[in-house]
Amino acid sequence: MPSRLFAPGADDHRMEIHESLDSTNILAKQRAIDGVEDGYVIVADTQTNGRGRRGRSWHSPAGVNLYLSMVLDTKKVSAGLVSLMGAVAVMDTIKQLCPNPDLVQIKWPNDVLMGRKKVAGVLGEYLSEKQDWCVLGIGVNVNSKAEDLPDSPRWPATSIALFLGKQLNRNILLSRLVCRLRDLKHTLETDHEKILEQVRQNSATIGRTVLLSVQNTEPQKYKAIGIDENGLLLLQGQEKIITVTAGDVDIIQDNR
Ligand code: BT5
């Protein structure tokens, strides 16, 4: 029988745990509008309509993984860096468990990979109803078995348990991840370059050939050469360097 999720003692008043939600991001947005504090967290054991970017879905089976959203006051931070901050928090939390931490990397802009397979995804959504607030949604495959992983994902998927060959305590992971997110939110406000450095140093994208598909055009090959000070990806074009945002491109990495 899988263990139940619970809020760590000190977090009782700023974390809600639900057995099932359509999407933690949807409830977190509502709570943000209701006026909860910065850093408030919504967790669900399963989601019936877990969301990815651009209308894609997030596979969210019950009893095995983590699905959470943090409400963030982003007045003092650069919008493009919030999702990257979430990816760094997940990466740091997973690296702590891993005998080969170098195998945990960030695939720009919002995926965390273990051994080049996707173990987590991050979805930052701004609120039209409340300027300067956003919800940062995070899904981590913790104890999924191979049969719990999504069918034909866009990128090969794994779980921490499959990668490490042992099951993990989801409550310990939840508490570490939430702590790390709150710490990094502070870093984002005071020294965001540190977060960018982490993203660059642990990038699964920089140095690779990527196929860039912009809506309704044939995908083109580019070399990813860096991430700029706003968190945007830099690609070497034939004549000049181009900058891409997560919203207007789809990056499909080649294996070269
Ligand atoms: C993401 O989107 O990777 C962001 C996922 C964010 C999920 C969290 S869960 C808590 C919070 N509440 C929500 O409703 N969402 C957030 P994207 O880059 O668009 O990737 C989505 C694609 O990843 C899908 O089209 C599938 O191919 C693949 N995928 C779906 N579920 C997956 C899973 N559990 N593990 C690995 N890949 C998955």
Residue 3 lies in a domain: no
Give the other-Cβ count within 10 Å of 120's Cβ. 29
- In angstroms, what is the span from residue 181 Cα to ligand 1's centroid? 19
Structurally, the chain folds into a number of domains equal to 2
pLDDT at 54: 85
pLDDT at 247: 65
**Strand, helix or coil at 198?**
helix
The CB of 56 under 6 Å from ligand 1? The reply is yes
Structure tokens at 234: 């830099």
- In angstroms, what is the span from residue 51 Cα to ligand 1's centroid? 6
* pLDDT-flagged residues of the chain (< 70): 1-2, 247-248, 254-256
- Give the number of the atom of ligand 1 that is nearest the alpha carbon of residue 24: 12
The span from the first CA to the last CA of the chain, in angstroms, equals 43
Here the CATH number for the domain that contains residue 231 is 2.30.30
| 21 and 99 fall within a common domain | yes
**By 3-state DSSP, what share of the chain in percent is helix, strand and coil, each rounded to 5?**
30, 30, 40
Structure tokens at 255: 């294996």
| 195 and 98 fall within a common domain | yes
- Give the number of the atom of ligand 1 that is nearest the alpha carbon of residue 28: 12
* 201, 224, 242 - which closes a domain: 201
The CB of 29 under 6 Å from ligand 1? The reply is no
Residue 22 in contact with residue 6, Cβ under 8 Å?
no
| 68 and 98 fall within a common domain | yes
Identity of residue 82: V
Full residue range of the structural domain in which residue 134 is found: 9-201
Here the CATH number for the domain that contains residue 83 is 3.30.930.10
- In angstroms, what is the span from residue 160 Cα to ligand 1's centroid? 15
pLDDT at 212: 84
Q: Half-sphere exposure of 89 toward its Cβ, with a 13 Å CA cutoff?
A: 32
**Strand, helix or coil at 148?**
helix
Residue 119 lies in a domain: yes
- Tokens 């669900």, residue located: 44
- In angstroms, what is the span from residue 139 Cα to ligand 1's centroid? 7
Strands of 48-167, DSSP E: 66-73, 104-107, 111-114, 117-126, 133-140
Residue 241 in contact with residue 225, Cβ under 8 Å?
yes
| 13 and 114 fall within a common domain | yes
**DSSP single-letter state for residue 216:** T
| 152 and 220 fall within a common domain | no
- In angstroms, what is the span from residue 143 Cα to ligand 1's centroid? 16
User: What's the pTM value of the predicted model, to 2 decimals?
Assistant: 0.95
pLDDT at 256: 55
